[in-house]
Each structure stands twice: as structure tokens, then as C-alpha cells.
A and B are shown apart, each in its own frame.
Chain A
Amino acid sequence: MNGKIVAFCCEHSAYLAADAAGKQGLHYPENLRVIRVPCAGRVDIIHILKAVEENATAVLVLACEDGLCQHLTGNVRAKERVKYSETLLKEVGIDGKRVGMFNLAANAPHKFIRIINKMNEMIKEQGEGK
């Protein structure tokens, strides 16, 4: 099994997409840990760093599509934070690509699966660790 993938999922979009994927019986990697958040804007830099500290090989922040955040700018803020987290990780010699931000709608379970599989493939290629 690959290293852990931690996905912070907005409960208005990505979490519902993950749920729908489960209901439709779509397969996704067993190393995925979904964390439900009230909005992607709730995910702070420290949450991303902590996940990496706790041996997550990849950390994803999955937010609503652009312009569709229920809290108006949560997904925009999340994007900035993910970008900054990449810089912080690079500073300590960790590949910034281990952190990713994607936008998806609640009715996009297939997109959810694609994102997770893509990340899983990437970490498989790069191998675990730094």
C-alpha cells in the first residue's frame, strides 16, 4: 500500500462527492483518509503541515468550484494557503507537489476518484518520504 493520502473535503462539495462515490460503489484507494471540514477555508497551513508530520505522503484540499463557495471566499483562501504550504515544505526539503488543491462539485464523484487516483499514482512514482 502507498503512504497515506489525507484529503480535507469541504462538506458542501468534495465530501458529498466522496459520499456519492461510495454510494455508487466507485473504487478509491484504501490509503485515503477523508477529513470533513465545514469549508475549505477552514483548513489552515498548520493542518496541512501537521498531516505531513503525521506521515501523510500527500495532502489534498478539495473545495467548491470557483465562485461557488457558500462562505464566498473559502476556496480562494484555501488555494492561497495550499500554495504557501508548498513553499513552507520546500524550505525544509520536502516536495511541494505532495500538497494539492482541487475544485469540484458535489455531483462529481468521478472527478473525486480521478483526483485521488492521480495523486496516488504520483506518490507511487515518487516513492514515500522526502
Chain B
Amino acid sequence: MKWFINSMLGFWILLLTISLGAAAVVYEIWLKGHV
């Protein structure tokens, strides 16, 4: 887990995972019918 904070690549991957997860939630709740 420390690698995700101590390494820039790890931090990048951690934030990207969180962001894509949040995007999936937004899509599921509000946008599914539109696309």
C-alpha cells in the first residue's frame, strides 16, 4: 500500500483507479440512459 504513495507511478495508478471508479458511479447513476 505504501508503494501507492511513495512512488509517483503508484500514486498515478491509485488516483486513476479512484477516478475511473467515480466515473463509473456517475455513469451508472445519471448517464446510463443517455449514452
Q: Does B associate with A?
A: no
Q: Could you list which residues of chain B lie within 8 angstroms of chain A, going by C-beta atoms? A: none
